[in-house]
Amino acid sequence: MFASNIARRACRTSCNRPLRNCRFNHSQPASSQRTEESSTTHFGFRTVPEEQKESLVKNVFDSVASSYDLMNDAMSLGIHRLWKDEFVGLLKPGAKGPQKCIDVAGGTGDIALRILDHARERYADRETTVDVVDINGEMLKEGYKRFKKTMYHNTPQIAFREANAQALPTEQFPENTYDLYTIAFGIRNCTSVPDVLKEAYRVLKPGGTFACLEFSRVNNPLLSTAYDQYSFSIIPLLGTILAGDRVSYQYLVESIRRFPPQPEFAQMIADAGFTTGGMFEGKGGAWRDLTFGVAAIHTGVKL
Ligand SMILES: C[S@@+](CC[C@H](N)C(=O)[O-])C[C@H]1O[C@@H](n2cnc3c(N)ncnc32)[C@H](O)[C@@H]1O
């Protein structure tokens, strides 16, 4: 009887499916729905109980995993590749000798591959290692398949581990372990950004670098309007055409708009204990804008 009640009620999100068919957990029993006392967070433009966000995000990435790389290219017109190149180029992995790196929310391994290639091609370094960590096994599987075709497969240079960025298990990820912590297009999907930063600080060695590449804020009003129009009309449409999945891509766009703007995020990094540049953009500053602020690189050092 409970199931048929659920089926009759429509999902109130943009998916508009009967609740029974909705992939975004609305078909949970009433007991797990939001209560007055529970804390809430955002999931795209929706407000949801904190404890639900992780499974909602997991559903999104389960759904997009197999089409993720193709969609990334289509959505950003290939520009995400340039941003990722610039991100890794800025960090210069291997320049000062082999490094122990962790790429959190590493998904299909885009950043890990660039780190290892950069170290090898620029500095003939075959000892730098990357642990790719993600909460989603499906994304890691895609990454593993991809690395199978590379020279790093079956070497100590790469490992894939399923874990939550907000609570990295201490036995697997002890404190003061890594020289470089990267997170690209992942932190906005996490329920608690301060918890992710706290964990990053814990696992980095003193002197280690935290680096985040994330969608950010376009400050120019004209560009910002054009960007909004592109994001909210074209991206969900591409999601429908290329991946048969409008809802997940609508979430991805909404989640970008909910992420704090550059100065606010820089302050959160400083509050977690990292030494950052000044609270401004560019040389000597805490962040660097890419493509007018569509994305930004934030860095901090654990002293
Ligand atoms: C947009 S993808 C980015 C993947 C990759 N870093 C890249 O740049 O292509 C976001 C990733 O964050 C992961 N993720 C979301 N929440 C997470 C969490 N709490 N802990 C670890 N990974 C998480 C997702 O599973 C997904 O693989």
Tell me the DSSP string of 8-68.
Answer: HSBPSSTT--BGGG-TTSTTS-GGGS--SSS-EEEETTEEEEHHHHHHHHHHHHHHHGGGH
Query: 251 or 109, which is more confident?
Result: 109
What is the arithmetic mean of pLDDT over 230-245? Answer: 89
Per-residue b or e along 170-183, where b marks 16 or more CB atoms closer than 10 Å to that residue's CB? eeebeeebbbbbbb
Point out the ligand 1 atom lying closest to the alpha carbon of residue 106: 6
Total-model pTM: 0.86
Tell me the C-alpha distance between 22 and 62, whole Å.
14
- Over the stretch 264-278, which tens digit does the pLDDT of each residue have? 999 999 999 999 999
Ligand 1: lining residues by beta carbon, under 6 Å: 57, 61, 105-108, 110-111, 134-136, 139, 164-166, 184-186, 189-190
The band of 42, judged by pLDDT with boundaries at 50, 70 and 90, is confident
**Can you give the three-state secondary structure of 207-242, one letter per residue?**
EEEEEEEEECCCCCHHHHHHHHHHHHHHHHHHHHHH
- Over the stretch 96-154, which tens digit does the pLDDT of each residue have? 999 999 999 999 999 999 999 999 999 999 999 999 999 999 999 999 999 999 999 99
CA of 254 to the centre of ligand 1 (A): 16
Q: Single out the residue of 133, 171, 173, 125 nearest to residue 152, CA to CA.
A: 125
Side-chain-side CA neighbours of 260 within 13 Å: the count stands at: 14
Residue from 43, 79, 136, 147 whose mutation best tests the ligand 1 pocket (most atoms within 8 A of CB): 136
User: Which pLDDT score is estimated for 70?
Assistant: 81
Compute, in degrees rounded to 10, the torsion defined by CA atoms 281, 282, 286, 290: 80
What is the arithmetic mean of pLDDT over 222-238? Answer: 91
Q: Single out the residue of 214, 158, 150, 221 nearest to residue 182, CA to CA.
A: 214
CB 165 within 8 A of CB 183: yes
The band of 3, judged by pLDDT with boundaries at 50, 70 and 90, is very low
User: Which pLDDT score is estimated for 24?
Assistant: 35
CA of 134 to the centre of ligand 1 (A): 6
Summarize the annotated binding site for S-adenosyl-L-methionine as residue ranges: 108, 134, 164-165
The band of 295, judged by pLDDT with boundaries at 50, 70 and 90, is very high
Structural domains in the chain? 2-38 (no CATH), 60-301 (3.40.50.150)
Point out the ligand 1 atom lying closest to the alpha carbon of residue 252: 1
Residue from 87, 185, 203, 297 whose mutation best tests the ligand 1 pocket (most atoms within 8 A of CB): 185
Check pLDDT > 90 for residue 44. Answer: no
Lowest mean pLDDT among 28-37, 47-56, 78-87, 238-247: 28-37
CA of 65 to the centre of ligand 1 (A): 10
Residue type, 271: D
CA of 2 to the centre of ligand 1 (A): 34
The band of 38, judged by pLDDT with boundaries at 50, 70 and 90, is low
pLDDT, the chain, mean: 87
- Over the stretch 200-213, which tens digit does the pLDDT of each residue have? 999 999 999 999 99
Query: 21 or 231, which is more confident?
Result: 231
What is the arithmetic mean of pLDDT over 243-260? Answer: 89
Query: 56 or 143, which is more confident?
Result: 143
Point out the ligand 1 atom lying closest to the alpha carbon of residue 136: 25
CA of 124 to the centre of ligand 1 (A): 29
